[in-house]
Amino acid sequence: MKNDMPSPTRLKICGNTNIEDVRLVGDSGADYCGILVNVGFSERTLTLPQASELAKESTIPTVILLCDPELELVKEVAAVINPLAIQLLGHESPEMVKKMKSEVRCQIWKTVHLPVIPEEASPDDYTRAGIDALLIDSVDTSEGFARLGGTGKLADWKAAAAIVKTASVPVFLAGGINPENVRRAVTEVRPFGIDLCSGVESSRGKKDPEKVRNLVNNLKSTAP
């Protein structure tokens, strides 16, 4: 898949914590349902059994988010949930990505951060390691630790657009996207997909149906 393919911009709505929201996202027109597993810094995280129950309710492909997981957890998640993809949020190395690709059958997606976090490899390094998609997200340290994802803060769109232009795998844009700015995000960055969480929430871990509807309507009406 290439980023310049003439198709609508894909949408992943992430951080789903309950069956009601999983069903809302599935019915909304989104393309992917994101669920966090064992991500200790996030209020949206679930246990593997909890995530498995939610994934069974999803009518669209599921993406499971992990942060610096052991290989055994990756294999267990892939076996128990059988998601479309496992998305890596942390400092996972290209070497670890290669091991995961050899051990599981689902796709492996990798989040890269703007600004770059310490010890994070480059998008090209992860692409060479075999990842199936990149996600560009922001970092928030305002709470005394590095919150990776779900920050509500905009990523550097100019830098993101440069990554999109040269990447040989699909690139999703995340970080501070909401119903009001999603059209501009697509126009300025031209990503393969949009990934968001807090931009359609009423509170952390709870989706706002009206925000979801507005976001989907605004995104789908934007020319790719």
The backbone torsions φ and ψ at residue 116, rounded to the nearest 5 degrees and listed phi first, read -60, 135
Q: Check whether 19 has a pLDDT greater than 50.
A: yes
Supply the pLDDT for residue 136.
Answer: 95
Q: Summarize pLDDT for 130-161 with one digit per residue, the tens.
A: 999 999 998 765 555 455 555 566 888 999 99
Predicted confidence band of residue 222 (pLDDT cuts 50, 70, 90): confident
**Superfamily in which the 10-220 domain is placed by CATH:** Aldolase class I (3.20.20.70)
pTM for this structure? 0.90
Q: Check whether 223 has a pLDDT greater than 80.
A: no
